[in-house]
Structure 1
Amino acid sequence: MVKSTGVYKGGLNCELTHGPSNQVIETDAPKDNHGRGLAFSPTDLTVASYASCMVTTMAIASKVKLGFDIPGIKWEITKEMSTDAPRRIVRMATQVWLPFPKSKDPEGVLEKAALNCPVHHSLNPAIDKPVTFHWAE
């Protein structure tokens, strides 16, 4: 079990502390929802967590099943919010760039791992979550 704590600082800004490491991050409401957009919003953190979870899960699978590390993988994720109530994430489109050819993973271990990360399984299934993998030639 991991504990985190938080405090509302005012002005739609929160400070979050990760219990085990004491690392602190801030959130701010987005400009399109009464905020200043000066930090990740809570929904921004959700999509960033999803992408980093996919890549972390890929790295674990690569180490355990393929026998190599995968530094240099990059990603981009875009978030789309609903236009109707309640306000919610409706689409998270992810692109992942791998710095090596698909021939290093002929059985698709990495893509399967990404699409089965814990955050993916924790999100509402109504969220559209397309993922595109770009392999080096």
Structure 2
Amino acid sequence: MSTSTIIYRPFLKTDATHNRSGVTITTDAPVDNNGQGAFFSPTDLAATSLASCMLTVMGIYADQNQLELGEIDCSLTKVMAANPRRISEIHIEANWKTKLQDKEIEKLKKVAYTCPVANSLHPDIKQVINFNITRL
């Protein structure tokens, strides 16, 4: 079974349906590239996938090791470059409230930095990730 089905819709939008679940995501071209910016752009989704993947693998590791991850939220900024137009940088500020000890935190950060999306992005894309730790 294919992963998704993507349909182009005027004007500069797509509907991407996850075939297994039937969930649909709509994309739009960004305002600075002829779109309305009404939805995530494809490059927004690529950048956002990095933070989502980091949190997912951290959760998997925590579950497998009976660790209470705590609360994490991320703020993400995508930086675009021209000639060629591409993502040049992804900045992530992760705010993490946790009871974990330093050794566990460092292991989880390593897991995050090496998530599948991080390993799949072109090495020219600068990944700037900052964890702001608050002890519970």
Q: Which bin holds the TM-score, normalised by the shorter protein?
A: over 0.9
- Of 104, 115, 118 in structure 2, the residue corresponding to residue 117 of structure 1 is 115
Alignment of 1:24-103 (within 5 A): 24-65=24-65, 67-82=66-81, 84-101=82-99, 103=101
Q: Does 1:9 align with 2:9?
A: yes
State the 4+ residue runs in structure 1 displaced beyond 4 angstroms: none
Structure 1 unaligned runs (5+)? Answer: none
Q: What amino acid sits opposite 1:121 in the alignment? A: N
TM-score (norm: length of structure 1): 0.91
Question: In structure 1, how many angstroms separate the alpha carbons of the residues matched to 2:62 and 2:70?
Answer: 11
Equivalenced residue count is 134
RMSD of equivalent CA atoms: 1.5
Structure with more of its chain in strand, by fraction: 2
3-state SS of the aligned residue for 1:44?
helix
Unaligned runs of 5+ in 2: none
Cα deviation code 1:58-109 (max 9, x no counterpart): 11111113x1242521011100000x31100000011111111552x41411
Q: Does 1:106 align with 2:103?
A: yes
